[in-house]
Chain A
Amino acid sequence: MTESTEDKPLTAMLEVRNLEVAYGKIVAVKQISFSVEQGQVVSLIGTNGAGKTTTLRTISGLLRPTQGEIWFQGERIDNVAAHDIVTRGLAHSPEGRRIFPRLTVEENLLLGAFSRRDPAGVRTDLDSAYDLFPILGERRKQPAGTFSGGEQQMLAMGRAMMSRPKLMMLDEPSMGLSPIMMKRIMSTVTELQRQGTTILLVEQNAQAALKRADYGYVLEVGQIKLSGTGRELLVNDDVRKAYLGED
């Protein structure tokens, strides 16, 4: 179990160093450091209010850190505008899915590709999104708001894929889903990894998230308490007690 990654050389795809984020006087994330290596699935687990979503929102440029640095592919991005970050290959599927309910499936997916300017490539990726989630293809002209939670999650993931990201950040994809649908979504995560996308996965459902993670971090009240490979964390006593409901 490593404590922090202070002075590691910059080899990781995403490197977060001493990040601190505050809402006014309330500090939500305190001096956290972690990294995501190319091709990995990295999980960030923790309870409600641990600062997981805040961390993701800061990485994707929707929030500004009060301290610390974020490096993506060797470039510092903590002061770059959100739309620029997407262009650089970092996609964010936000908490609560945030699909556009009144737009059709296809319009939603095309908005995911907003940062791109290669219509032909977008077309191809649209087809591959429909291949990955056939139900989206069947209902491409239907308003997305009429979908079930699981279908909306598929759409949210498909939409994030449409920017052809190098790193995809998923914020609680399993939230509010049935166990079957959750399995489906999680296996998609593995599938995306197989296709070469690096994934930063934020979850409350520690079991599901750690099982598929190459590496994991446990966030507690804005600080990283533990880290290790997914397997290590799954068998760790503290993790089992706190997150897997075992004594």
Chain B
Amino acid sequence: MTDVQTETPVTPAAAPKKRPIAWPLGLAGAVFVIVGSCLSWSYDGSILNNLSINFYPGGLQILAIIVAVVSLVLLVLDKGKLGWWLDTTAGLRSLGTGLAFFMVLVLAAISVESDGLINVNPGGYITLVGALLLAVAAWLMPLRHGLRDMSKAKSPAWAEIAAIALLMAALLFTAAYALGLDDAWLFILCLVFIATIAVGLFRTGAMSWVSHAGQRHRKVLTLASFAVAFLFPFTQDGSDANMSIATSVLVFAATAMGLNIVVGLAGLLDLGYIAFLGSGAYVAATLSQSAFATIGWKPPFLVVVLVGACVAALLGLVIGSPTLRVSGDYLAIVTLGFGEIFRFAMFNLDGNNGPNLTNGPNGIPGIPDLELFGFNFGAVHHPFGIELGRFSNYYFLLLVLTGGVILVFSRLNSSRIGRGWVAIREDEKAAEAMGVNVFGLKLLAFAVGAFLAGLAGTIKAHQDGAVSPDQYMFLESAFLLAAIVLGGMGTIAGVLLGATILKLLPEKLRFFSEYRLLLFGITLVLMMRFRPEGLVASRRRQLEFHEEDEKLADEVEHQLVEEAK
């Protein structure tokens, strides 16, 4: 995988206890899984995309084979030179355990979907046994000590770039594949597979190499991510089902990224952020060509975007200037109230109480599709002979928007203003003594955040085709905040990931919808217990939550030095 340039050859410290049986056992397990997966798993061919044919593995069987092959690779590497770098034991443990869990779920799925375990064919059991063997073998293997520091692994630039490209391609393929699964069991099993592989790669340290490579080639990584996002609609065969989910994910992600400026950078808890998205959407709706629009002025969309964003920013200033002088809890309460006031105002501005701006609870339906520079967003287009439907058009527009918001976020983050925000977040009083204009910068964060949300709102109105007050409930603000906390406050990748998870899972797991909030709550509690800094943690927050961990402090310091070079 890598050309390793070592300065001094260091032999790994002697392992504490060798169990010679572990390695062959693992090998046998992997082989069992592969063989078992080639055989039929289920008697019933009508479920789980047909796992019933011998020597013609279906989707789930291929997933099992992939895990087994990765395990085989790790087993081989364990004996070789790369074993000094990769924590193969930890990787195998998570792969084995994950695969065993996967197989148990498969058998459960077969017995639930069909009629009981009677429908499981020998192949299924062989694979389960193989997975269990692999897991047991991995737990028997000694933990590795004296591993080399992955951050010191250097490899040729082309290899690193190729690895990034490969990973991104895999990401695109996986996303397209997972979204194509319309059976809930298949989708969940696919998620288990993704989690198993991801945790396995992280545990071995392979991902740490990739992330170091990514830091060295940041531009390549950014470009590749956008290329993947850009190519996604082309994998959908003109189907709008997944694209409608993807566009709503993008609206959510762009809004969450705007809130990330307020919460993640400036440290201001805003519980009514959805109102800014709403005000942008309502501005776009009332100024649109809809027959229900209440304002006679019909400016071109680019003007509407500006007006919507400015109205939202103005609202941000109005709500911010009296409240940002108070700290923490008060701000949260005031913004919470503001969010609800916005919703009720939209509900009541129906002509009975005051002017008719919003048509009250009916909202403004019939908002026509956008038309920019002669490009109709409602029409189906065929670039390169590939059909792209209505949602794909909006998807591209929203992708540009999201990219813009990310750009604003990262530029602000590394600017003088960003440093001021960090200082305010860390210690407001000290920041003031340093000459940071605390009130001014807080207000700016609020206004910028509101502006970006308003921007997203104007597009959202056209994409949804209608606005109504109940789209902007408090729950939506809470979800936005949850996406940030879950993903990793103040980070870009984390918030994108959090937003994707929070928007995608409920859409794909519709049959869970009654338990959605329960599951969501449990997830948040577990996260706060085990990984309070979020899935993707910024270094600073890691320190905040694990202050006692000296090893981590050393690592962080090392990373910082690395970055400074």
Contacts and interface: CB of A to CB of B under 8 A. Distances in A.
A82 B543 contact: no
Contacts of B556: 143
Contact of B435 (A87, A94, A107, A141): A87
Given A114-B436, A115-B435, A94 B557 contact: no
Given A82-B432, A112-B434, A100 B426 contact: yes
Contacts of B420: 114
A111 B433 contact: no
Given A102-B540, A104-B560, A163 B427 contact: no
B214 to A, nearest CB: 20
Given A99-B430, A100-B426, A114-B423, A163 B435 contact: yes
Given A81-B437, A114-B435, A94 B429 contact: yes
Closest CB pairs A-B (n = 9): A86-B435, A115-B435, A98-B430, A83-B437, A141-B560, A100-B426, A83-B435, A92-B433, A141-B561
26 contacts: A60-B433, A81-B437, A83-B436, A83-B438, A86-B435, A93-B433, A94-B429, A94-B433, A98-B429, A98-B430, A100-B427, A102-B540, A103-B540, A104-B560, A107-B419, A107-B422, A111-B423, A111-B434, A112-B434, A114-B419, A114-B435, A115-B435, A141-B557, A143-B553, A143-B557, A163-B435
Nearest to B543: A102
Contacts of A93: 433
Contacts of A86: 433-435
Nearest to A156: B430
Interface in A41-92: 60, 62, 81-83, 85-87, 92
A159 interface: yes
B contacts with A: majority SS: helix
Looking at A62, A99, A102, A114, the one whose CB has the most chain B CB atoms below 10 A away is: A102
B194 interface: no
B237 interface: no
B560 A98 contact: no
B435 A142 contact: no
A215 B437 CA distance: 33
Contacts of B437: 81, 83
B544 interface: yes
B432 A102 contact: no
Nearest to A162: B434
A37 B190 CA distance: 75
A103 B434 contact: no
B556 to A, nearest CB: 7
A229 B423 CA distance: 38
Given A103-B422, A143-B543, A98 B557 contact: no
A111 B432 contact: no
A143 B547 CA distance: 11
A234 interface: no
Interface of A: 60, 62, 81-83, 85-87, 92-94, 98-104, 107, 110-112, 114-115, 141-143, 145-146, 159, 163
Given A81-B437, A102-B426, A114-B416, A141 B432 contact: no
Report, as a range, how many residues of chain B touch the other chain.
20 to 34
Interface of B: 416, 419-420, 422-423, 426-427, 429-438, 440, 540, 543-544, 547, 553, 556-557, 560-561, 564
B151 to A, nearest CB: 14
A3 B71 CA distance: 85
B427 A98 contact: yes
A101 B423 CA distance: 11
Contacts of A98: 427, 429-430, 433
Given A111-B423, A145-B547, 5 more contacts: A62-B432, A99-B430, A102-B544, A141-B557, A143-B553
Contacts of A115: 434-435
Highest count of chain B CB atoms <10 Å: which of A101, A110, A143 = A143
B544 A111 contact: no
Contacts of A103: 422, 426, 540
Contacts of B423: 100, 111, 114
A100 B540 CA distance: 11
B431 A111 contact: yes
Contact of B430 (A94, A102, A143): A94
Nearest to A119: B416
Given A82-B433, A102-B540, A141-B564, A110 B426 contact: no
Nearest to B439: A81
B416 A142 contact: no
A77 to B, nearest CB: 13
Given A83-B437, A111-B423, A146 B553 contact: yes
A110 B430 CA distance: 13
Contacts of B435: 82-83, 85-87, 114-115, 163
A167 to B, nearest CB: 14
B557 A142 contact: yes
B543 A100 contact: no
- Residue in A103, A110, A112 whose Cβ sees the most chain B Cβ within 10 Å: A103
Nearest to B547: A145
Counting chain A CB atoms within 10 Å of each CB, the highest count among B432, B547, B557, B564 belongs to: B432
A102 to B, nearest CB: 5
A143 B560 CA distance: 10
A115 B423 CA distance: 13
A61 to B, nearest CB: 8
Contacts of B434: 86, 111-112, 114-115, 159, 163
A99 B427 CA distance: 8
B495 to A, nearest CB: 20
Contacts of A142: 557
Nearest to A98: B430
A116 B98 CA distance: 54
Nearest to A56: B433
Contact of B429 (A62, A99, A110): A62
Contacts of B422: 100, 103, 107
Contacts of B429: 62, 94, 98
Contacts of B419: 107, 110-111, 114
